[in-house]
Amino acid sequence: MSEQAKNNQKMVIKLLVIVVGMFGFGFALVPLYDVFCDLTGINGKTANSAAVYTPIEIDESRTISVEFITRTNTGMPWEFRAETTRVKVHPGELSTVNFYVRNPANKQIVAQAIPSVSPGVAALYLNKTECFCFNQQPLLAGEEASMPMQFYVDPQLPDDISFFTVQYTLFDVTGKGDKLAVKENPYLREQPESGI
């Protein structure tokens, strides 16, 4: 019987390893999911670090129109709009769109912009060389800023995509997270005379 008990114990340990492994796998699904999204474009997530623009041949035979949608989430009082809501670009061509923000509240608010691209596949071919969404953006009461987003569309963009939509949603992340690199918003506009 003790032989039996030993065997049982060995087997239990092996099975517990599987259990612990699968518990870990549940959490591993989080980064795996991001990898999966990067590969397939699920949800139109874009990269959250800057791409490097190497001058490439501009494909003038195609024109892609890119549409911008701006939204603020619940509890986020900022004014937020794209200064250009639609641009037409050739694949490979670098272009810049500015986004206007203003904090009407009487306190500092830190914002995080979350991009989403539709159709999701297009996200894989949208290369942002500079974006306000890479960092958290602080604004003091009454401050306003014009935040740039510079991008180019990869010429590999599938032929059946002639336009896509990029949405930015601003979230209030004041006091949360550690991504806030700067005290002052780098894209600040000059303070309006009136102040607060």
The residues of the shown chain that bind other proteins, judged by CB under 8 A, are 4, 7-8, 11-12, 15-16, 18-23, 25-27, 29-30, 33, 37, 40-45, 48, 67, 69, 71-77, 102-106, 112, 114, 116-121, 141-142, 160-163, 165, 167, 169, 171-173, 176-177, 194, 196
- Which residues are 128's β-sheet partners? 151
- Asked whether the beta carbons of 139 and 174 are under 8 A apart, the reply is no
Q: Distance between CA atoms of 168 and 99, rounded to whole angstroms?
A: 10
The distance of closest approach from Cβ of residue 37 to other proteins in the complex, given in angstroms and rounded to an integer, is 8
E-state strands within the chain = 64-72, 79-82, 86-89, 95-102, 109-118, 126-131, 137-139, 144-153, 163-172
Give the tokens for residue 54. 């190497």
- Which structure tokens are listed for 154? 């990869």
DSSP bridge pairs for 99: 82, 147
CB of 129 to other proteins, least distance (A): 20
CB 72 within 8 A of CB 104: no
Q: Any long-range contacts for 32-35 (C-beta under 8 Å, 24+ apart)?
A: none
Nearer to other proteins, 10 or 56 (CB): 10
Least Cβ distance, residue 41 to other proteins (angstroms): 6
For residue 20, the minimal CB distance to other proteins (Å) is 7
Q: Least Å distance between CB 95 and other proteins?
A: 20
